[in-house]
Amino acid sequence: MPSDAHVPAIAGDVVVTGAAGFIGSHLVKALRQSGRNVVGVDRRDMGVHTGAVPAPEEGAFQARTGDLATMDLSSCLKGVDLVFHLAALPGVRPSWTEFPEYLHCNVLATQRLLDACVQAGVGRVVVASSSSVYGGADGAMDEGMLPRPTSPYGVTKLAAERLALAFAARPDAALSVAALRFFTVYGPGQRPDMFVSRMIRAVLRGEPVEVYGDGSQIRDFVYVEDVVRALLLAGAPARHPDDRAEVLNVGTGSSVSLNRLLSLTAELTGRRPDARYGPTRVGDVGATTADVSRARDRLGFRPATDLRTGLAAQIEWTRRRTDGPRRPRTAPGTATTGRRA
C-alpha cells in the first residue's frame, strides 16, 4: 500500500468482517503490516491470511468463520475498540431474485453486529456502504443528496448505513460510526463477476467481452489501495461531535465510460477487446461520479492511483493467473475497440 503520512496509527486488536473478500483481504494485509493484530470474521475460508507465518514486525491474524447474523460475537469483540464492517452480499442483479438473502447478510447481520458492539463498548465502527444508495444522478454525487437506490441491493446498503448512524446516536453507547460510500472499486483480487475483472480476463484469453448496454455509461473507478487508505483514515477516533455519525464518499471525483476503459485496456495489453454489447440490466445506472470534498476535508483523503496505473496493476495480476494466450492479437498502439451487432 502506498505510504501516507496522514494515515493514523491504529492501536490494539482490530476486527475486520468480510476479511476474506476483495477489499477485506487488502485491509487485513495493511493492518498486519502496520503491526496490528487482526480478528477476521467471514463465512468463507480465510486460509489466504493464516497460511503464512507473519514476519516479526507483522501483527497476528485470528480467523473466526461464521455468519454474523447467528454466531457468537462477544468473544470476537472482547477488548476491541475498532471494527471495520465490510461483510455484505454484493451484486445489483442477483438482489432482485435473492432479496431475503440480501436482507439477512446486509441488514440483519449489520444490526446484530452493531448491537454487539454497543454491548462490548466498542468505540469506533467503519461501515462499508456503496454509491448504489444514490441511484442515478447527473454530475457529482454528494452526501447531502437524497438517496434514491434503484435496486434491492442499494436499498439494503442504505438500510445498513442508516442502522449504523442510529446506533451511533444512542445516548447509552460510546460508539461512533463512519459509513463510507465506495464507488467502483477495482484492483488485484477484484471479484470475478465485476466488469473490470471480466474484461481483463476476456481480453487476455482472446474471448468476447460482454458489455451490458452500449458502453457509454460512466463510472468513478477507485483503486483498492486508495480505498484501504480511506478505511484506515476513517478508523481514527472521532475528533469532534460531528464525526460521531458521518457518511463519506470514497471515489476519485472523475469518471470514464466503459468504452474508454476498453480502449485503455487495449493500449495496455496490445490486444483488441472483442466487445459484445447487449441490453442494459435492471438496476444499473447511467453514471456515477463521487464528490470527494467531504472525505478530503474530514479525513485528509486524496486518491493517489490514476486509472492507467491501477488498471495496469490489475492486468499484470490477472496475467500471472490466466491460462489464456500470451501473444498479442494486434500490435501495441494499433488496437481499437469494436462493436458487434
Active-site option among 102, 134, 153, 223 = 153
3-state SS track over 226-279:
HHHHHHHHHCCCCCCHHHHEEEEEECCCCCEEHHHHHHHHHHHHCCCCEEEEEC
The CA R_g of the chain, rounded to the nearest whole Å, is 20
Q: Is 153 designated active site? A: yes
How far is it, in rounded angstroms, from Cα 68 to Cα 166? 19
How far is it, in rounded angstroms, from Cα 339 to Cα 273? 9
Please state whether beta strands 208-212 and 245-250 pair in parallel, antiparallel, or not at all (unpaired).
unpaired
Please state whether beta strands 221-223 and 245-250 pair in parallel, antiparallel, or not at all (unpaired).
unpaired
How far is it, in rounded angstroms, from Cα 213 to Cα 241? 44
Residue 159 C-alpha cell reads as 438500510
Check: CB of residue 272 under 8 Å from CB of residue 338.
yes
Exposed / middle / buried, residue 33 (Cβ in 10 Å: 0-12, 13-18, 19+): middle
How far is it, in rounded angstroms, from Cα 240 to Cα 263? 45
How far is it, in rounded angstroms, from Cα 184 to Cα 254? 11
By annotation, the residues acting in catalysis are 153
